[in-house]
């Protein structure tokens, strides 16, 4: 059995509008210790992450303590909404969950996000059979992964977990077949 611990980043500083470099708040930095404590005795052998600073920083303390490198996987990045900041995120998110192909002119649909995340995940599953790994991720990216395996995961479920930061979801696999999904809130 392969266990993948998806770690959704801790609370970011929303005043920084550049998604790639958005840092964690002080609260978020403090919450990273909870992530470390949670992961410490899970026999993790590899760590992967989105290239976004908040995802990397959330798992960096753990990586440093256990002496593992964080392998950056571009395809685990968060969804691109558009080239401009969207003020009414809730309205936009609901529209995307109602239509997985909906996107703004310079953005990605949830279908596109899901496809690239699942492709990257499949590659990692093939290379890490029967191991425990960590993937630093984001709320929407993680939600599209969960919805791929659990068709009951919809907009309401996305809304339910939207403010869980940090948040860990452990998905257990037999090959590429899902065995179970477990959620862990670290507050």
**For residue range 84-98, what is the model confidence (pLDDT) as tens digits?**
777 788 899 999 999
Tell me, yes or no, whether 2 lies in a domain: no
CATH number at residue 140: 3.40.50.1240
- How, if at all, do strands 167-174 and 2-8 pair? antiparallel
Angle, CA 35 vertex, CA 126 and CA 10 arms, to 5°: 100
* pLDDT at position 45: 97
Number of domains forming the structure of the chain: 1
Q: H helices within the chain, ranges in order?
A: 26-39, 53-66, 89-98, 110-127, 139-149, 155-161
Tell me, yes or no, whether 174 lies in a domain: yes
Is the distance from CB of 56 to CB of 64 less than 8 angstroms? no
* pLDDT at position 16: 85
* pLDDT at position 15: 86
Tell me, yes or no, whether 3 lies in a domain: no
* pLDDT at position 114: 97
Tell me, yes or no, whether 1 lies in a domain: no
Low-confidence ranges of the chain (pLDDT < 50): none
Closest to 57 (Cα-Cα) out of 25, 88, 81, 82: 25
Tell me, yes or no, whether 169 lies in a domain: yes
Tell me, yes or no, whether 68 lies in a domain: yes
pTM higher than the cut 0.85: yes
């Amino acid at each position: 059995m392969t266990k993948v611990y998806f770690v959704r980043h801790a609370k970011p500083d929303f005043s920084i509008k550049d998604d790639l470099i958005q840092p964690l708040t002080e609260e978020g930095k403090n919450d990273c210790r909870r992530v470390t404590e949670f992961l410490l005795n899970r026999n993790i052998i590899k760590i992967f992450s989105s290239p976004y600073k908040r995802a990397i920083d959330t798992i960096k303390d753990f990586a440093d303590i256990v002496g593992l490198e964080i392998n950056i996987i571009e395809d685990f990045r968060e969804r691109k909404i558009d080239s401009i900041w969207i003020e009414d995120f809730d309205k936009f998110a609901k529209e995307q969950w109602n239509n997985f192909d909906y996107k703004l002119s310079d953005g990605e649909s949830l279908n596109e996000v899901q496809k690239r995340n699942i492709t990257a995940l499949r590659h990692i599953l093939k290379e890490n059979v029967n191991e425990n790994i960590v993937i630093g991720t984001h709320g929407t990216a993680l939600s599209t992964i969960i919805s791929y395996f659990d068709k009951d995961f919809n907009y309401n479920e996305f809304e339910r977990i939207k403010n869980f930061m940090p948040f860990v979801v452990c998905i257990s696999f037999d090959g590429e077949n899902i065995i179970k999904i477990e959620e862990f809130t670290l507050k």
